[in-house]
Each structure stands twice: as structure tokens, then as C-alpha cells.
Chains A and B, each alone.
Chain A
């Protein structure tokens, strides 16, 4: 069976149904022309990818950098406005019903974690670029958006201490080519360990409480006292998160 160029391209781009995918795979295995063509198309794909990513290593022009900084400042303001609407850091004043709901949500969020293939216990490499995230969690104040070398957007959203006295941080991560995640990591020894993660929509930056209720409730179940203020956080960062 001969296969069209359009179908081979759709195969490379993952746009075929599973039946069509297996038809193409069979053709690759049995038809040398198809195999060579797929090879050539995949190679050109990777070259185009590499070529367009070249610009990532070039500094932004002064005007664009200026615009980026303005966006960053406005984004911080947006975040501050929305953080006020998060109700959960007053959890110590909430009753038992809320705490029961929170316990149920812990399970829900960890289902997300399992669904993502993340081991919620030992999860050192659970998220992409974990070494970079680990470093950013140690050094980035909450509310500052950082772009990693690969183009992923990272932002620590807030810090708190859990019942065990460990420092924990909620953070947002949007890798370039995969789903955005809202996550919680806690400082154990000199490293951060992922405790929860859940996918969040690309359109849902700076979530309101309703969007991230499940994660908020996880924090409710973990937090001891109030969330750490920006001033306190600055000091804790300087002290390298030593409890």
C-alpha cells in the first residue's frame, strides 16, 4: 500500500488515529520508500526546530526587553490582586467540615500526580528541568516570573511551613511544549521534594481560588500558621531555607 506525503507528515506530527498510525508503522517496516521518506521528513522537522530555536540564544532587543519588563511588572500586579482572593491561608480559622473536604482533595490532587506519572514520594526528577526548578525554588522570591533556558515559565507563588516544620512553596510551571502545572514542593535537607502537582489550563494563569480549589485545599491540609510574608520570605531565602 502506498502512503501519501500528507499522511506521512500527519504521522510525524501525531495527527493520525491509532489505526492509521499502525498502518503507517507497518508501511515503514515493509516499504523502503516509505521508511526513507519518513526519515527525511523527520530530519527536516528537527532541523527546522533547531533553526527556529536559535533565536532563544539571542538577547532580546532593548525595546522588546523593555516591553517584557513592563509585562512582568503588570503580571506581578495581577498576581497580587488575585492572591488577595485566595481564602485558604486563613485556614486556621476554618472548621472541621472544610478540613474534611481538604483531606478528600489531597487524594484528588495526588490522583493527578499519579496520572502525570509522578511518584509523589520520591520525586526528585518528577518535573522537567528539575535541577533548574530546585535552584529557582531556593532563590526566587514569590511573584517573580522566570524563564528557564528552555523557555519554560516558572513562578513561585507563595511559601509556608507545613506541620512538620518544613518550608514548602507552591509554584507554577509551564514547560514550552507541555501542560502547565501547579505544584507544591517542600524543602528536605538541601533540596526540594515535590509533594503535589496538578495540571492547570494554559488560560488559567494566576488562578483564582475557584480554579485551584483542589490545590488550595491541599495547602490547607499541610500549612501550619499563616503563609510567609514577602519580607519573611526574603529573610528565609537569605538563610537558605533553614527552619
Chain B
């Protein structure tokens, strides 16, 4: 199990990053999830590759939802403006990624989770449904809504930027 956890670590870290929105919190979450798996083990009828993501999400729900207000503060328009002025040396790509980051933080946890599992971990809808304990149809609708919301948010940001 240790070797497999080691193998899963990069993907788990990206998933944690998608949930937390910051590398520092993602590493703490990832560590909590791995320690919980090591302490409690894995049920016999579950694949570790799926179980680990479920534990990670549960840890996040347990410990990090309370910190949501802090994350929301980072999305404060005043802070965003500061970020933009500080970002004059950023490359266009970095700015675009920052916008995606900001857009993702505006999604619900369910939508961020599904995007991360399907887009970054390349899970099938069926596997993602097992991790999130929802029907496949829910995965389909969540992912469609998540991407639609991201597009809407980024288009709105672009329109705002053009207006300035």
C-alpha cells in the first residue's frame, strides 16, 4: 500500500489543490488524507486508487470547509485588483491561469471535485461517480455545469477587462 500511495501522491496533491485553491493548504490536506488512510486502512472491496480520493475529499469536508471564509477573502474584488496591479510582470499565460484559478474557486466543491477527477486524473465518469458516491448521471450533469460556469465566469472577466 505504501508504494501505491507514493504513486498516487502527485494526483492526490493535484486533487487537493483543486479543492483548496492553494498549494500550502493542498499539501496539508494531502498529508491528512494519507495519514488517515495509513491509520484506518482500506476496505477490502475498494480500490485504493479510488478510496484515496474519497478520503481526501472527506478530509477536506471535515477540516477545510470551515476555512471557506478565508478562501472567499482571497476572492475579494479589492484583493483581486491588487493582484492584477502586482501582476504586471506576469506572463499572459500566468494571468490566464490565475483567472482560471479564480474561476474555479467560484465553483461549488462538487463541481471542482468532478472537474479535477475527470479532467486531471482522467477518471471515467463511472469511477468518478464511485469516488463521489453519486450516480453517473449526476457526474454528467455536474461536469457540464462546471465547465459551463467556468466559461461564463471567464467570459465575464474578459468583458470586464475590455471595459476598463
Contact = CB atoms under 8 A, between A and B. Distances in A.
A48 B125 contact: no
Given A145-B6, A205-B7, A51 B23 contact: no
A58 B154 CA distance: 25
B13 interface: yes
A51 B79 CA distance: 20
A147 B3 contact: no
A44 B151 contact: yes
Contact of A51 (B49, B97, B141, B151): B97
Interface stretch (B62-70, B83-91, B115-123, B156-164): B115-123
Contacts of B120: 48-49, 52-53
A10 B7 contact: no
Interface string B1-43: 1111111011101100110000110111011001100000000
Contact of B125 (A15, A49, A53, A151): A15
Given A47-B96, A203-B47, A68 B9 contact: yes
B134 interface: no
Contacts of A119: none
A52 B18 contact: yes
Contacts of A52: 14, 17-18, 116, 119-120
Contacts, number: 127
A110 B42 CA distance: 35
Contacts of B116: 48, 52
A54 B125 contact: no
A158 B151 CA distance: 49
A35 B28 CA distance: 41
Interface in A9-34: 9-10, 13, 15
Given A55-B17, A75-B3, A79-B3, A13 B125 contact: yes
Contacts of B141: 6
Contact of A63 (B10, B27, B47): B27
B6 A75 contact: yes
A51 B11 CA distance: 13
Contacts of B154: 44
B104 interface: yes
Nearest to A48: B119
Given A53-B120, A61-B28, A205-B7, A9 B104 contact: no
Given A52-B14, A53-B14, 4 more contacts: A6-B141, A48-B100, A48-B150, A147-B10
**Nearest 7 Cβ contacts at the A-B interface:** A75-B3, A74-B2, A61-B27, A151-B10, A55-B17, A75-B2, A64-B27
